[in-house]
Structure 1
């Protein structure tokens, strides 16, 4: 039987999503995948391997990461949720479990991924909620950042915004949404694309901050994009401000509404 899980986590204490040791091998840095698989294996009473919708880096959080796994164990969705969560650290929990057909893939069935990046725009760094917020002391022009961001929308080559360690075969992605808004001292970036490159969101945010701080004109972001050179873009924004909101799937999959398209 194949199951899909919605997983919520605080990534502060983990070395990213991807398991860094062979499956079932103990030791090594703590990763989210290894921690989840150990808990699932305890409930299933056999080794369990998972596939996720989108791997997150060290320090990045998730509201609803989606994974799938296969098991012959006779367990109800409720048992998977409660049993697995009871074996996880407080920084992780299972939101839901849904049986799915064998051709469902948490990664390849997804049609979009959503991220949110938040920072405190203030002269003094945050004390409360600092694991969830990045910090920028320079005054920021949010309207200028939003206008610059709209120039990145569409299917484009985002070579300039991916890390040199990115393993994707090509850099073409469809950026569907990139909104920049302010609520008091909190500046938020809401991003959606069909898929993302390694560090793409944090590199776009870092570049837009250069525009917001008045270091670069709004049109510069297009020059960076068309230059296809990572060294032309701004610095990579810190990880702690980034949350993987979750993937989106076609509505014909029997999944909760929070991970399905509206239409």
Structure 2
């Protein structure tokens, strides 16, 4: 980063129901990135649209409470307008997307490559009467009783570093090796079941596919061992359903200390491979 450019961190939240995902798309598709970049261009009075880099590209319909992005701005623009940027964005952005915090990022910060983990929540109810109408945009209805203990037992077999190809929509040239750090379910006092899913990174559809497998265990259609067997097989199983996006929220993105950012960036860019199995040549 040169002295004439300042990297600015944006902490974001949005309701994903009316967005075609995070990433800017062809004209006519409303996206979170498009709304924020257009707002930045207007409030900063720039001819060119500033380009955002985001921690994780959420799909259409997915929400975020703890999304993080960065944008590089001319130093003179930041010096002149940085102090009032947050309030001006609040006045320009639609009500379903908010910038919660604007700050100058430390050296080597990258919203995507510096992240050490992302934490999502997926919310579902098995109430026989359906979803509370006030929660319908954020909670999935599953029309079978769910066994919380069985779902948590199944989840334990998926933790750790694995190739999650069986639970991902593969993209050309991208690895599907991830480290799943947390996958656990609780039933809230209101009866909603909430999954916490945390990993160093996620591949496309991974969280929603994992939740789909857990629901099949929870309602008794599959055994607790089945999700781990699907993982080990390494191929998509037609019984693993990618659940609907509206129950999913990106809750938090974590970063290392400022001194560790550069090393983290380099590590994140390295394509991951799994170590060989014991006894394998």
TM-score (norm 2): 0.84
1:224/1:232 contact within 8 Å kept = no
Gaps of 5+ in 1: 22-26, 254-263
Residues paired across the two proteins, number = 247
Correspondent of 1:235 among 231, 235, 241: 241
In structure 2, distance between residues paired with 1:167 and 1:44 = 37
* Structure 1 residues 1-150: aligned runs within 5 Å: 1-21=6-26, 27-46=27-46, 47-72=49-74, 73=77, 74-101=79-106, 103-126=108-131, 127-150=133-156
Q: Does 1:169 align with 2:174?
A: yes
| Post-superposition CA distance 1:40-64 (Å, at most 9, x none) | 1112222211000000001100002
2:127/2:191 contact within 8 Å kept = yes
Deviation at 1:103, TM superposition (A): 2.3
Q: Secondary structure at the match of 2:258?
A: coil
CA shift in 2, pair 1:112/1:100, >3 Å: same
Deviation at 1:83, TM superposition (A): 1.1
Q: Secondary structure at the match of 2:120?
A: strand
Deviation at 1:232, TM superposition (A): 4.6
In structure 1, distance between residues paired with 2:83 and 2:232 = 49
2:126/2:146 contact within 8 Å kept = yes
Deviation at 1:137, TM superposition (A): 1.4
- 1:159 is aligned to 165
Deviation at 1:76, TM superposition (A): 5.0
CA shift in 2, pair 1:235/1:75, >3 Å: farther
1:115/1:243 contact within 8 Å kept = yes
Deviation at 1:98, TM superposition (A): 1.1
2:44/2:81 contact within 8 Å kept = no
| Post-superposition CA distance 1:47-99 (Å, at most 9, x none) | 21100000000110000210000111134544121111211100011110110
- 1:201 is aligned to 207
CA shift in 2, pair 1:236/1:20, >3 Å: same
TM-score (norm 1): 0.90
In structure 1, distance between residues paired with 2:8 and 2:239 = 40
Q: Secondary structure at the match of 2:134?
A: coil
In structure 2, distance between residues paired with 1:233 and 1:167 = 24
1:85/1:92 contact within 8 Å kept = no
In structure 2, distance between residues paired with 1:235 and 1:82 = 42
Which range is displaced more, 204-213 or 42-51?
Answer: 42-51
- Which structure has more helix as a fraction of its residues? 2
Which range is displaced more, 94-103 or 113-122?
Answer: 94-103
Deviation at 1:163, TM superposition (A): 1.8
- 2:274 is aligned to none
In structure 1, distance between residues paired with 2:8 and 2:107 = 9
In structure 2, distance between residues paired with 1:58 and 1:190 = 20
